[in-house]
Amino acid sequence: MHLSADLVRDLHKYEYSILYAIERLMKRYTWVPFDNLRRATRLSKSELEFRLGSLVDKNLIRYDIVPYQGYSLLHTGLDTLALHTLSSRGSVSALGSLIGVGKESVVYEALGLGVIVLKFHRIGQQSFQSVRVNREYMTNTGHCPWIFASGLSAEKEYEALRRLTGRVRVPVPIDRSRHTLAMSYIPGVNLNNCRLEDPETVYQELIEEVRKAYRLGMIHADLSEYNVMVNEDQCWIIDWPQWTETTHPNADELIRHDVETIVSFFNRKYRLSLPPEDALRYVTG
């Protein structure tokens, strides 16, 4: 279900109170019991039942009786809370069209001081275990619902963009709430979806950006043609939630994989003969 700006604007204050309460209580419960919600919101039984039914109908929360009766946020409910917070701060004034759906995120165009991008991190049921294993910021034990994993993913990417902005071509971070990033709009197209007139120039530009990040102690760790935006002969590297430090035990393997993936793409699509070892030496030297 796509996020609705009308829904976020028109949601009743009691319904926001319930969503905020479920979010808080999900740090303790996978399914939040009705009695706990009633104590947290101080609503009457009949009012709470009515509002919970409305939130279920709007696909913002879900209800189940197994292993016990309780309520849980859906990603759309968390999206609503994040957008409500960003709007109240003045970071977002209008929600635009859906512009991208990835494995672990949904991206919308929006308005802030100008055209911006909203990226909603969505670590889903299928990807949760993979993220937990492969990303060092995820705990291996304890209670960590998918919505909080999404929040950690957004926090990690926000940190990367703040460190890289002004030094490497990346989106400029504007604000963050929960699992959602507001960032600058990147003019251009995805590297995978365009035909470059001068591929060697773009390749050299991209390798230079990878080198700059490496010198700042950062490795993208998932770099490919799918997370590079191109406008004429300039490029931007996007999607940084899995980045790692150059001091990481697997840093050599990760930077090699990033560089070899990019070299392989340009050699394959544009029939170039770029040597990956030369590129790797340049980036790390």
| Number of other residues whose CB lies within 10 A of the CB of residue 8 | 18
Q: Which helix (H) or strand (E) holds 152?
A: helix 146-164
**C-alpha dihedral (151, 156, 160, 162), degrees to nearest 10:** 50
Both ends of the chain: CA-CA distance in Å?
Answer: 47
Question: Is 222 in the active site?
Answer: yes
- Kindly name the residue from 79, 175, 222, 258 that is annotated as catalytic: 222
| Number of other residues whose CB lies within 10 A of the CB of residue 173 | 19
* Identity of the amino acid at 251: A
SS3 for 182?
strand
| Number of other residues whose CB lies within 10 A of the CB of residue 274 | 18
By annotation, the residues acting in catalysis are 222
